[in-house]
């Protein structure tokens, strides 16, 4: 258990190290990123074991969801960092004559606090850390107490790889997180729920600390299946995604809206896909992940009891292993309480709607808190493009799920109740740097137009200024 004095000392030690200027050297940052990559590769088996202990992940899913994407992003950052960090050169304009050169320098914030969640404890800790390192910052990591095995492995991993004055991991519960938030950091990055994010913003506001938030969204992410969709393809992809990490993913599908005209076909295909991919008894399948805690398992049991007459598939589990089967609930009304909040579990409400009322459905989705993701299945690509360009959400796919997260060079982030800020690759570098504008002045040929006295016979100065401006 940490004390306030101990955490304060850690922050001050990092602040002193940052002020030494060592992290400003881009070559030094790249060397640290290479060290991070080698350490990840060396501890791959430990990470796999910890992910299995916390979430029941198979080694394949551990690599697919945490380790592999992390290595890819470290490589992208190492290869791109020199270009990203290079100051931008701008023409100052005639109004600034003779000082015609201005540069925008990408400056690190300083000492950063990264608070990571339980669902992807390796990726969402080290993935954010590498963005902070790329920006030239130091970092204090606060990992989730729920994923205790991963936290234990990460703590020894960080201590072995980096000096405490540069990167350190602090474990513990919400009380320790609050002790961290009481410190003056230069940037805070939080991944988790909207309710906790409100508390973090309130604490950060006391020091006017800039915050980046990656949240799941208050009312969850929608997936819309129109009557012209490839039903088999949609069912296959939706089933895969809902099985992944047992639904405990911030960009996962919270509810599916399916056109009434194809609802029966879709529901049959979805059930068949669940059985094909994970078996008739998923709670007995070693590859199927478990829920993070008994509280989440009990939530699944409670909701299934509440909607028992609408369980079309699943609805059972094994409390000893904390595995709960993927569960289809149908029919659910778009205004039911079940689809008014993020579920973060294997339950999948299915909302029927007439395809002729698709715009009304999209208006309902738009009226709710912005999701982190939106997924559309349809052959009408023109409609899908218009919809994606008019809705407000973090990111999404047309006729696909989740893969937008894997694309290099694009941002990942939410809006409103699904977050603020963005990261991945260069966008992560931008999130952890401040663009500072520097004009290079000249000592000769300076014009007196901007100096007193402004009035000089017939407003000559004003006329000249207006001519320059226009």
The two tokens of residue 39 are: 């350490």
The two tokens of residue 348 are: 């999948």
- Spatial distance between the Cα atoms of 407 and 397, rounded to a whole number of angstroms: 12
Output phi, psi for 144, to 5 deg. -75, 140
Residues 6+ apart with CB under 8 A from 178: 203
Classified as helix, coil or strand, 312 is: strand
Name the residues annotated as catalytic. Answer: 214, 250
Please answer whether residues 123 and 456 qualify as being in contact, where contact means their C-beta atoms are separated by less than 8 angstroms: no
Residues 6+ apart with CB under 8 A from 328: 267, 270, 271, 274, 311, 312, 313, 314, 348, 350
Closest CA to 390 of 355, 365, 353: 365
Give me the DSSP letters along 164-217.
TTTEEEE---HHHHHHHHTS--SEEEEEE-HHHHHHHHHHHHTTT--EEEEE--
For residue 331, the 8-state DSSP code is S
């Amino acid at each position: 258990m940490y004390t306030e004095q101990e955490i304060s000392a850690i922050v001050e030690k990092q602040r002193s190290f940052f002020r030494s200027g060592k992290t400003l050297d881009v070559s030094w940052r790249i060397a640290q990123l290479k060290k991070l990559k080698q350490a990840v590769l060396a501890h791959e088996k430990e990470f796999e074991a910890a992910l299995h202990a916390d979430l029941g992940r198979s080694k394949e899913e551990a690599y697919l969801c945490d380790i592999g994407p992390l290595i890819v992003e470290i490589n992208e950052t190492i290869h791109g960092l020199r270009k990203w960090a290079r100051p931008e050169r701008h023409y100052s304009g005639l109004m600034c004559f003779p000082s015609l050169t201005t540069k925008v320098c990408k400056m690190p914030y300083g000492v950063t606090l990264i608070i990571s969640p339980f669902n992807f404890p390796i990726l969402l800790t080290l993935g954010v850390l590498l963005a902070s390192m790329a920006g030239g910052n130091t970092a204090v990591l606060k990992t989730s107490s729920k994923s205790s095995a991963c936290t234990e492995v990460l703590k020894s991993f960080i201590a072995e790889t980096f000096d405490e004055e540069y990167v350190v991991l602090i474990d513990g519960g919400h009380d320790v997180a609050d002790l961290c938030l009481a410190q003056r950091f230069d940037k805070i990055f939080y991944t988790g729920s909207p309710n906790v994010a409100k508390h973090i913003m309130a604490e950060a506001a006391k020091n006017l600390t800039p915050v980046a938030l990656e949240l799941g969204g208050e009312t969850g992410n929608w997936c819309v299946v129109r009557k012209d969709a490839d039903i088999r393809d949609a069912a296959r992809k939706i089933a895969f995604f809902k099985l992944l990490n047992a639904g405990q993913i911030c960009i996962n599908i919270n509810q599916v809206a399916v056109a009434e005209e194809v609802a029966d076909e879709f529901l049959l295909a979805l059930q068949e896909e669940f059985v094909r991919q994970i078996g008739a008894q998923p709670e007995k399948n070693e590859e199927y992940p478990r829920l993070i805690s008994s509280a989440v398992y009990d939530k699944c049991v409670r909701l299934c009891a509440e909607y028992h007459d609408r369980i079309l598939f699943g609805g059972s589990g094994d409390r000893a292993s904390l595995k709960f089967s993927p569960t289809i609930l149908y029919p659910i009304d778009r205004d039911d309480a079940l689809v008014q909040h993020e579920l973060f579990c294997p339950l999948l409400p299915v909302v029927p709607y007439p395809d002729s009322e698709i715009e009304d459905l999209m208006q309902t989705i738009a009226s709710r808190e912005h999701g982190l993701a939106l997924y559309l299945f349809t052959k009408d690509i023109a409609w899908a493009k218009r919809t994606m360009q008019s809705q407000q959400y973090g990111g999404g796919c047309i006729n696909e799920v989740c893969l937008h997260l894997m694309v290099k060079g694009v941002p990942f982030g939410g809006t409103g109740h699904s977050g603020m800020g963005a990261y991945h690759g260069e966008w992560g570098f931008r999130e952890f740097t401040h663009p500072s504008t520097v004009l290079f002045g000249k000592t000769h040929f300076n014009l007196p137009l901007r100096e007193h006295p402004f009035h000089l016979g017939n407003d000559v100065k004003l006329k000249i200024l207006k001519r320059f401006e226009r």
